[in-house]
Structure 1
Amino acid sequence: MTAPDYGRAFALWRQGAAAPWQAYTRHAFVEGLKDGTLPRESFLHYLVQDYVFLVHFSRAWALAVTKSRTLDEMKAAAATVNALVNHEMQLHVTTCAEAGIPEDALFTATERPENLAYTRYVLDAGHSGDLADLLAALAPCVLGYGEIGTRLAAERAPDTPYGDWIETYGGAEYQDLCRDTGAMIDAALARRIGPEFAAAPRWPELQAQFTRATVLEVGFWDMGMTP
């Protein structure tokens, strides 16, 4: 399946992180969502941890507002915060509530080390660098879930119990967010490192940040497999 078009920077980063990207987007956890074989216990464990992850991820996107140089950058970052806090996290709340897990238990859940490592890595990239550094660390999650959702929407088993998850990330609203995010990344990088991304002196560093975040995504799926 052809990768979705989420912009030039994403295409280059994805290519530069080919092996971990494959491990991330084709992980056994992902395939279990697709065919319905993922144990429910593992899915609920993942949702609880992912809710905590999204709390910190939302803070990282809020940090992107303060790192922005233009109103368009601010609007794009703020729109992502809104999507995370008011839409994506609601999927977790609804699904967990049906399993008897209230929202206050999600917010106060103890972070697993894999979760802690990933979220703090992203926040550190933003605090210690500029918007380009932060976006390189943020991109694997936002755009990776978009790619996974697109593929699973086309390949899913009709009876998978994880249809709501697949529809959330494979649906038009999330796909629009990914395309908008990809365009924002391209514009932000062009503004900071020039239009020829791969030729810029900073590119290897940004690629390394994207790749590291992708590896941490693989670790997050591994965590989800072991409640």
Structure 2
Amino acid sequence: MDLFDRLKAAHPQAWAAYVDHPFVAGLGRGTLPEAAFRTYLVQDWLFLIQFARAYALAVFKGRDLVEMRAAQKGLAAILDVEMDLHVRLCERRGIPLEVLETTPEHRATTAYTRFVLDTGMRGDLLDLHVSLAPCIVGYAEIAARLAMRPGALDPSNPYAEWIAEYAGEGYQEVAREARAHLDRLAERSLTEARFSDCAAIFAQASLLEADFWSMGLAGAA
């Protein structure tokens, strides 16, 4: 197993709470309330802003130019590509940029993103990327699994676009590179004694991701 699979296996209940969440099931079935998805979309835009800061921190934490350039690439992808794509997705859902810019962060957004930033500030690059992995790689795994569900990618599913985006080869390659980067970092600094600490970071991040889904559902209540 690579490090990502080892981290998942260390705390399977935390991982299941995230990837098997009712929000995820609703995406695949097309039954997720629209209000829940709209709440999620707005908060996910705010989430991306903080993740850009996490990649900026990764540049600072880089021990050599290879690591610094890898982090800069991730930062540029968020600021120059993903943010614009997210704005257009929101606009197609009737959510203008003004709403994105004036909506305050939900507590679930703040909890997860500040956990990532705090983890990165206190630790090293491995700690930071372990805390990011449930989001980056988890979305790829969730979407790939949903895409195999009959009807998930049909035009009749209002969330087919979201599933297709994260199940697509472009994002799947991002996830594969994230997994490989975790392994490269682990080769330099992971010991068996430290693994339990990394697993705890990964589990907490997974549970905070589950809370993020729950925040979306609460927005439809």
Q: TM-score, normalised by structure 2?
A: 0.92
Q: CA deviation at 1:107?
A: 2.9
Q: What residue is the counterpart of 2:215 in the other structure?
A: 223
Partner residue of 1:201?
193
Match of 2:3 in 1: 9
Instruction: Deviation per CA, 1:111-133: give whole Å up to 9, x if none.
Output: 11111111111000011111111
The residue that corresponds to 1:34 in the other structure is 28
**In the alignment, which residue of structure 2 is the partner of 1:164?**
161
* 1:183 alignment partner in structure 2: 180
- Shift in Å, 1:90: 3.1
Q: How many residues align?
A: 216
Q: Deviations over 1:64-84 (max 9, x none)?
A: 111111333223222222332
CA distance in 2 between partners of 1:167 and 1:99 (Å): 17
State the partner residue of 1:117. Answer: 111
1:133-192 Cα deviation digits (max 9, x unpaired):
111111111010010111112212522111111111111111111111111111112112
* Structure 1 segments (4+ residues) deviating >4 Å: none
Tell me, in whole angstroms, the C-alpha distance in 2 between the residues paired with 1:36 and 1:49: 20
Contact 2:153/2:164 (CA < 8 Å) preserved in 1?
Answer: no
- 1:64 touches 1:74 (CA, 8 Å); kept in 2? yes
Match of 2:171 in 1: 174
TM-aligned CA distance change 1:111 to 1:21, over 3 Å: same
CA distance in 1, matches of 2:85, 2:29: 20
CA-to-partner distance for each residue in 1:77-123, whole Å, 9 max, x for gaps? Answer: 22222332333333431122123322232133201111111111100
Helix, strand or coil: the match of 1:202? helix
> 1:18, CA displacement in angstroms?
0.8
TM-score normalized with structure 1 length: 0.90
Instruction: Provide the alpha-carbon RMSD of the alignment.
Output: 1.5
Larger mean CA deviation between 81-90 and 45-54 belongs to 81-90
1:74 to 49, 55, 68: 68
Q: 1:198-222 CA distances to partner (integer Å, 9 max, x unpaired)? A: xx22111111001100010010000
Q: Please state if 1:57 is matched with 2:51.
A: yes
More displaced 10-residue stretch of structure 1: 204-213 or 86-95: 86-95
